[in-house]
Amino acid sequence: MLENKKDYKAWLYIAIPLILLSVFTFYPLIKTILISFFSQYNSITDSFGNFFDLEAYKTIFRDKYFIKSLTNTLIIVFVSVPVSTVLALLIAVGLNSIKPLQKIFQTIFFIPYVTNTLAIGMVFGVMFSHPIIPGIAPEGLINTLFSTAIDWVGPTAVAKHWMLVVLIYSIWNGLPFKILVFIGGLQNISKQYYDAAKIDSATPKRVLTKITIPLLSPMISYILITSFIGAFKSYEAVLSVAGGTGRELHRDRWTAVAYVYDKIGIAGMDSNMVSYYSRGAAAAVVLFIIIMIFTAINLYASKKRVHY
């Protein structure tokens, strides 16, 4: 009896938020998954059509731009996250070991976190600008500093250039949060460990690898998981840096999310009578599954290597 009453009360606590979530998160999610299986879904009349099959999925795996968007996304994930994490770790360790100026440095490193992704992306675009016809406009900051005349992010930029700028931006953007979590973790490490190390006159390198990192491993794992998930969903970053002034991103520069957005925005069917919207939905589901698998792997790995 008591159990039921308790249950009832608990549900009251979560009732309203749960309803909101159901309407605005669960319902759209389920609907999108369903749409991915109805390859002639009509987005204007909101009718599912008569074809319940896997055509949407087959189509996207034959679409080389989907594959390309996945590749772009994976590059961002596997380069920006590890580099950003390692840098953040080094910075956090460095910050932790100095007393004066520590607060100032901390503030500086945290500034990117409070800024608007789109806005700073635009600034990066301005920094890396380049006039297509020389003499029309000046070279941007980077080209001037390095005496180069490369089109970094403009319409004729090649993959290795704009991807480099996107990666730099992603790493830059991801530093503050990581640094913060690491500092918090570092401060929680009992001094005893370091004192013991000093007695054993361990080198700084050994201290780092044998003590600091293992003790920080729960934080590292948390950072990696959340950062990877975030990186898989990259879109605004690429759009603001390499997207030009339009709201559109060129298809060679698509991330998985950009692909979804593009397809969802086209009404009607392609030449194989598969609805574009269904293709977008299928791509979104595939992305979701990839993220889930990846997170599962991450969790499993952290179970093995994280020390509490």
Partner 1 sequence: MQEAKIKADFRVNERLVLQKTNTILRKVVVYAFLAVMAIVVLIPFYWMLNVSLQSHNEVFNSLSVSFFPKEFSPENYVKVFFYESRSQGSIAFPRYLLNTGIVAFFSTIFGTMFSILVAFALSRLNFKGREAIFTLLLATMMIPGEMMVISNYITVSRLGWVNQANYGSYLAMIVPFMVSIFHIYLLRQNFKQIPNELYYAAKVDGCRDWKYLWRVMVPMAKSSIITITILKLMGSWNAFVWPDIVAHEKYKLVTSWLRSSFTDAEAGIQRVLINYQMAATVIVTVPLLILFILFRKYIMSGVSRSGVKG
Partner 2 sequence: MKRFIAVILLAVFSLVLVACGGDRGSDVKDRLVDWYELAEDADYDGSKVTITFWHRMGQANQEMVQKWIREFNEIYPNITVIEEKAAASYDALADKISLAITAGNYPDIAESYPDHIARYAMAEKPLALNNFINHPILGYTEDEVSDFLSGLWAEGSSYDNAGTILSLPFTKSSEALFYNATYFEEHGYEVPTTWDEVFAIAEDIKEREPDAIPVGYDSEDNLFITASEQWKAPYTGYNVETGRGEVLFNNAESKEMVKYFKSKVDAGLMITRMLNGEAYTSDIMKTGKDLYMYVGSTGGTRYAYDSMPQQVFNDGYRVGVAPVPVKDANHRKQIQQGPNINLFHQPGKEQQMIAAWLFVKFMLQAEKTAEFALASGYAPVRHSAYETDVWQDYVANIKTTEPMTQAQATAKLIKEAIDMFRNNEEIFFTSAVFNLSSKTRDEVGAMIVRILAYKGNDLDGYIDSQYQSSYDYIVN
* Contact residues: partner 2, CB under 8 A: 37, 40, 42-46, 51-54, 63-65, 131-133, 136-137, 155-156, 245, 248, 250-251, 265-274
* Residue 98 near partner 1 by CB under 8 A: yes
For partner 1, the closer of residues 28 and 268 by Cβ is 28
- Give me the residues paired with residue 98 across strands: none
Specify burial of residue 151 (Cβ count, 10 A radius: 0-12, 13-18, 19+): middle
Specify burial of residue 208 (Cβ count, 10 A radius: 0-12, 13-18, 19+): middle
User: From the CB of 50, what's the least distance to partner 2, in Å?
Assistant: 8
Residues of this chain, 262-301, that bind partner 1 according to CB under 8 A: 264, 281, 284, 287-288, 291-292, 295
CA distance 178 to 84: 8
When CB distances are held under 5 to 8 angstroms depending on the partner's kind, the choice from partner 2, partner 1, none that residue 286 binds is none
CA distance 147 to 127: 14
User: From the CB of 265, what's the least distance to partner 2, in Å?
Assistant: 7
**Tokens 């509490």 belong to residue:** 308
For partner 1, the closer of residues 23 and 196 by Cβ is 23
Residues of this chain, 148-207, that bind partner 1 according to CB under 8 A: 172, 175, 177, 180-185, 187-188, 204
Spell out a b/e string for 133-147, using b for 16 or more CB atoms within 10 Å of the CB, else e: eeeeeebbebbeeee
* Residue 219 near partner 1 by CB under 8 A: yes
The encoded tokens of residue 90 equal 């080094």
Torsion from C-alpha of 25, 28, 33, 36, nearest 10 degrees: -150
User: From the CB of 59, what's the least distance to partner 2, in Å?
Assistant: 8
* Residue 229 near partner 1 by CB under 8 A: yes
Specify burial of residue 19 (Cβ count, 10 A radius: 0-12, 13-18, 19+): exposed
For partner 2, the closer of residues 218 and 268 by Cβ is 268
Residues of this chain, 59-78, that bind partner 1 according to CB under 8 A: none
* Residue 126 near partner 1 by CB under 8 A: yes
For partner 2, the closer of residues 45 and 190 by Cβ is 45
Q: Which of 60, 70, 91, 274 binds partner 1 (CB under 8 A)?
A: 91
* Residue 47 near partner 1 by CB under 8 A: no
CA distance 149 to 139: 7
- Cβ 238 vs Cβ 255: under 8 Å: yes
Which of these ranges, 75-83, 102-110, 153-161, 267-275, lies near partner 1 under the rule CB under 8 A? 102-110
For partner 1, the closer of residues 271 and 285 by Cβ is 285
> How many binding residues for partner 1 (CB under 8 A)?
95
For partner 1, the closer of residues 271 and 290 by Cβ is 290
Assign 219 to helix, strand or coil. helix
- Give me the residues paired with residue 38 across strands: 52
Sign of CA dihedral 253, 247, 260, 226: positive
User: From the CB of 64, what's the least distance to partner 1, in Å?
Assistant: 21
When CB distances are held under 5 to 8 angstroms depending on the partner's kind, the choice from partner 1, partner 2, none that residue 111 binds is partner 1
Distances (CA, A) of 8 to 3, 4, 16: 9, 6, 14
* Residue 139 near partner 1 by CB under 8 A: yes
